[in-house]
Structure 1
C-alpha cells in the first residue's frame, strides 16, 4: 500500500506505474483504493462508478474496470455534503455530522471488495488517501491505517520533494502517528525529484536515520505524467495549457467541476491551448471555443457562473459567432432551466440556465451510468454517461445519435452551441478533428488512448530504473 505525507504527492500515478511495471513482469495485478473523494469518476462495464484514478490504474494493470477497485467514493456537493457511492451505486449523502460514524459501518464492505480482488490476482496494489499524519481523522479511518491494519497490508510512505520539507514530512509522520500504525510502514520513497539524485544522498540518509525506515528509491520528475489523466482538482490551481498562436479553448473552473479530464485530448493537440479560467478572471474574448464542464452541483455552479459574470462572457462569445460546448452539467446550464424538486443537490428549487439551447432539465434520484458509442458531427464517438436528471429537448436537434437510434444532447440552429451528456467524447480522434476543423484548425490525428498507454509504459520504465521494485515485491506475500 502506498500512502503519502500529504495530498497530491503522486500516489495515484505511482500506483498506476507500479501496476504497469508488475504487469510487464508477468504478474496479474489489480489496483485498489478503499475510499476516494473526487468528482472525477469513470463508469465500469457493469454500470457502476469508481474514481478516475482507479480507472487509469486498471488500464495500467491491463484489467477491466470493476467497482471493487474503489468500493467507497465520496463526491463533494455544494452544501458541505458528499454523495456517497458504495460499490458503484449512489447510497445517499453524508455531511460533516455523520461522516465519521458512517465510515465505521463501511469497513466490512471495503474489506469484502479487497478480499474479492485478492482472490482474482497475484497482487493487489493499494492507494491511500491524503495522509496518515492527519491524526485528527484516524478514528474510524478506512482510507489509510484503518484499512492497512485490518487487512495486514505493508505500507510504503511517499514523500513529495518538489513541494519542499520532505525530510520533515516523512520523519514527522513517524513522530505523530500511533506506534502500531507506524509499525505498518516498512519504508519510504521520494517522488518528483528534479536534478541529480546524488545531490539528495545526505537527505535520503537523514530520512532513513530519523524515521527508522528503509528507502525504496528516489523517483525523478517524470515527463510521462503530463500525458496522463489528472485525478485531483489540485492541478487546476496551476493552470493548464500554454503557448501562443494556437486555438484557445477556455473552460471556467467551477467550484464543483467534475470529470475535467474530458479536456485532456485537446491539451495534447499541438495547435491548441487549453486555458482553465479561475474565479475572478474573465473568459478571454479571443477564445475560439468555450467548454462548460461537468458539475457535481449544477444549480450551485450555474449560480456561481452568473455571480462571476461568466454568463455575460459566454453570451458575448455566442454573439461573436464563437463555438460553445457543454458537457453533462455544462449541457444542462446551456438550457432554459434546471429544476431540483426533490432537493438532490441541496434545497429544492429551480434556476434559469443560459437559454442558449431549447432544453429543460429536471434532476431526479435515478443516476444514468453507462458506456456509450454513436456518431456526432459526422464522426464516430465513444464515451460514457454519468448524470442525475432528465433533459428534454424542445425544437433543438440532437447533438449525437447513440446506439444507432438514441438521441443525445442538443445543438442550436446555427450549429455553434452544442450540449451532450457524453463524457470522454473528445478522445474520439475523428470527432475531435471535426470539432477543430469547425474552429479553423487542424488535429494532429493522434490516438489519445494509445498515447496514454505509451505514457504508462514510459512511467513504468522510469520506475524500474529508479525504484527498488524487487524490494517492494519482497514486502508482499507474493513469492512467484
Structure 2
C-alpha cells in the first residue's frame, strides 16, 4: 500500500509532530491516511474505541487525520517501569513486564504483531503515514529492528529523515545517520527535513546546498521554530508555566510519571501558574497540589518522601490547600498499595500517605475504558450535573470507606473519593481537565474565585491547523505527496 515513513536522527527530532502535521495536510487535501508507529516507548498513552492502549502521539495523529484511533496504529507500546524493564503492550493489551534483554528475544513475536497490524491498516485505509522511533543509526538495536529501517525494508516504503537544528550539529546528524545505514537503507531515504530553525534562512542556504551535493538527496524543507506550539507530548515533559496566572498549581515530576498530558489544560490556562517540581527542587507554596499517575507507584512514593513531599502536603492541607490525585496519585493518598503479582516490579506492599481511608491492590487485568460522567462535586443547585469525559488505564482495585463519597460518577457508577473536609479529590479518571466545565468547576473548588473555561480539544484543533499551515508553507509538499502517492 502507499506508505511513507518519517525517521529521525535523534529522539525528539520532531517525528511525531511531522507525522501529525502531514496527516492533517493530507486530510485537508482529501486523502484518507492512517498513522502508524510500529514500536513506541512512552508513558503517555490513550484508550482506543476498540478497548486497547496506544501511545498518546498516535491518538493525536489519528485526530489530525480525522479518523478514530485503533490499537493497530501502535501495535507495540513499551511502558518503562524500571531503568531496565518495561510493561509490554501488544496490539493494545499488556503481555506483562520484560527486561530489556528478554524483550530482545521476544522481538520476533513483536514483529509478527507489527506486520499483522500494518496489514490490517492497509486493508482499511488507502494511505499510511509511519513514524519511526529514536534513530535508525542506533547500531546496538539494529538486529531484529522493527521500529525503523527494519520495518521500512520489509514494507518497502520510502523514508524522510528529520533532524533538529536547535540541538546543534544538524549536518553531522544527517550525514552521520546516513553513513551508518546499509546501501539499500541509504537508497530508501528520499530526502531531509530540518526542524526548529530560528533566524535568516539565507544564512543556512550554503549548508543546504552542500548537503544536497554531498548526499545526492534533496532537502524537502526547513521548518521554523514554532513558538508556543502546544500538542500532546509523546513522552517528554513540557516546560513549566506557559502563563503567569496568579493561581498557583504544582505537581511533582515523578520518576515514572504517566499521562502527564492530563495537566495540559492547566498548563495553558490563562489564570494558572502551573509548575512541575523536579528532583531536588524546593517545593513552593501553592493553591493546588496535583499527584499524577505513575507507572511504578511504590518507587515514586519513596521518591516523594525523599524529596519532602509528604510533609509539604500535610502543611499544605493544614493551611486549607486542596489536593487532587489521579490514578496512581489517588492510590498514593490511601493507606497502602499492594502488588502481590509483581505488576510494577517485584511483589511488594507500600505504605501510602494515609490521607484517604482506602487501599489498593494491583491486579493482572488492566482496566482500559473511555468514560463519560459527571463530577461528584455539588454545585449550588445541589445536583451532580457538571459533565466530563476521560479514560481509565489502571491495574489497581481500590476499596475503603473513603469511596462512599465519590469524586465522579461514570455512567452512573461511583469512582474515587472526596475527603470529609472537602480538601482531597481523587479519581482514576485521566483527562479530568479536558472537559471545559469540569476544569472550571475544579478550579473554583480549589479556590479560584471566577475561573475561565478552556477547551483543550479546541486548542488541539487550532494547533494542528497551525502546524499544517506551517508545513504547507515550508515543505515541498508536491514532492512529499508524490512519495506517499507515487502513481498520483
For 2:300, the equivalent position in structure 1 comes to: 301
Q: Could you tell me how far apart the structure 1 residues matched to 2:243 and 2:68 are?
A: 37
Contact 2:75 2:117 in 1 (8 A): yes
Contact 1:104 1:141 in 2 (8 A): no
- 1:79 deviation in Å? 5.9
Within 5 Å, give how 1:411-450 maps onto structure 2: 411-438=418-445, 439-450=447-458
Secondary structure in structure 2 of the residue aligned to 1:425: coil
Residues 1:472 and 2:476 are matched in the alignment = no
Q: Deviations over 1:309-329 (max 9, x none)?
A: 111111111111111000000
The counterpart of 1:409, out of the listed 395, 400, 416, is: 416
CA RMSD of aligned residues (A): 1.4
Q: How many residues get paired?
A: 474
- 1:384 deviation in Å? 0.2
Secondary structure in structure 2 of the residue aligned to 1:407: strand
For 1:91, the equivalent position in structure 2 comes to: 95
Q: Could you tell me how far apart the structure 2 residues matched to 1:288 and 1:314 are?
A: 11
The counterpart of 1:117, out of the listed 96, 118, 121, is: 121
Secondary structure in structure 1 of the residue aligned to 2:484: coil
For 2:256, the equivalent position in structure 1 comes to: 256
- 1:244 deviation in Å? 4.0
Residues 1:337 and 2:344 are matched in the alignment = no
Quick one: structure 1 residues 224 and 452, their matched pair in 2 at CA, closer, same or farther if it must change by over 3 Å?
farther
Q: Could you tell me how far apart the structure 2 residues matched to 1:231 and 1:315 are?
A: 33
The counterpart of 2:147, out of the listed 122, 126, 143, is: 143
Residues 1:455 and 2:463 are matched in the alignment = yes
TM-score of the two chains, using structure 2 as the length reference:
0.95
For 1:101, the equivalent position in structure 2 comes to: 105
Contact 2:19 2:130 in 1 (8 A): yes
- 1:224 deviation in Å? 5.7
Secondary structure in structure 2 of the residue aligned to 1:223: coil
Q: Deviations over 1:10-50 (max 9, x none)?
A: 11011000000000000001100000000100000111000
Q: Could you tell me how far apart the structure 2 residues matched to 1:243 and 1:448 are?
A: 15
Q: Could you tell me how far apart the structure 2 residues matched to 1:201 and 1:464 are?
A: 20
Q: Could you tell me how far apart the structure 2 residues matched to 1:440 and 1:72 are?
A: 42
Secondary structure in structure 1 of the residue aligned to 2:204: helix
- 1:107 deviation in Å? 1.3
- 1:342 deviation in Å? 1.4
Residues 1:229 and 2:240 are matched in the alignment = no
- 1:452 deviation in Å? 0.7
Q: Could you tell me how far apart the structure 2 residues matched to 1:272 and 1:263 are?
A: 11
Contact 1:256 1:297 in 2 (8 A): yes
- 1:245 deviation in Å? 5.2
Q: Deviations over 1:261-283 (max 9, x none)?
A: 00001112111111011010132
Contact 1:48 1:89 in 2 (8 A): yes
Q: Deviations over 1:353-374 (max 9, x none)?
A: 1111111000110100000111
- 1:96 deviation in Å? 2.1
Contact 1:194 1:220 in 2 (8 A): yes
Q: Could you tell me how far apart the structure 2 residues matched to 1:460 and 1:448 are?
A: 18
Contact 2:337 2:349 in 1 (8 A): yes
- 1:441 deviation in Å? 4.1
Q: Could you tell me how far apart the structure 2 residues matched to 1:313 and 1:183 are?
A: 57
Q: Could you tell me how far apart the structure 1 residues matched to 2:151 and 2:360 are?
A: 40
TM-score of the two chains, using structure 1 as the length reference:
0.96
Quick one: structure 1 residues 311 and 47, their matched pair in 2 at CA, closer, same or farther if it must change by over 3 Å?
same
Q: Deviations over 1:107-156 (max 9, x none)?
A: 12211111211222221100000001111110011000000001001100
- 1:243 deviation in Å? 5.0
Q: Could you tell me how far apart the structure 2 residues matched to 1:243 and 1:107 are?
A: 44
For 1:46, the equivalent position in structure 2 comes to: 50
- 1:446 deviation in Å? 2.8
Q: Could you tell me how far apart the structure 2 residues matched to 1:441 and 1:137 are?
A: 53
Q: Could you tell me how far apart the structure 1 residues matched to 2:296 and 2:30 are?
A: 43
Within 5 Å, give how 1:371-410 maps onto structure 2: 371-376=370-375, 377=377, 378=384, 379-396=386-403, 397-404=405-412, 406-410=413-417
Contact 1:282 1:310 in 2 (8 A): no
Secondary structure in structure 2 of the residue aligned to 1:459: helix
Contact 2:364 2:395 in 1 (8 A): yes
Contact 1:123 1:478 in 2 (8 A): no
Once the two structures are overlaid, the 10-residue window that deviates more, 376-385 or 31-40, is 376-385
Q: Could you tell me how far apart the structure 1 residues matched to 2:182 and 2:420 are?
A: 63
Secondary structure in structure 1 of the residue aligned to 2:325: strand
Q: Could you tell me how far apart the structure 2 residues matched to 1:114 and 1:224 are?
A: 34
Residues 1:24 and 2:28 are matched in the alignment = yes
- 1:260 deviation in Å? 0.2
For 1:219, the equivalent position in structure 2 comes to: 223
Contact 2:159 2:191 in 1 (8 A): yes
Q: Which runs of 5 or more residues in structure 1 are unaligned?
A: none
For 1:310, the equivalent position in structure 2 comes to: 309
For 1:66, the equivalent position in structure 2 comes to: 70
Once the two structures are overlaid, the 10-residue window that deviates more, 357-366 or 437-446, is 437-446
Q: Which runs of 5 or more residues in structure 2 are unaligned?
A: 378-383
Once the two structures are overlaid, the 10-residue window that deviates more, 288-297 or 444-453, is 444-453
Contact 1:71 1:109 in 2 (8 A): yes
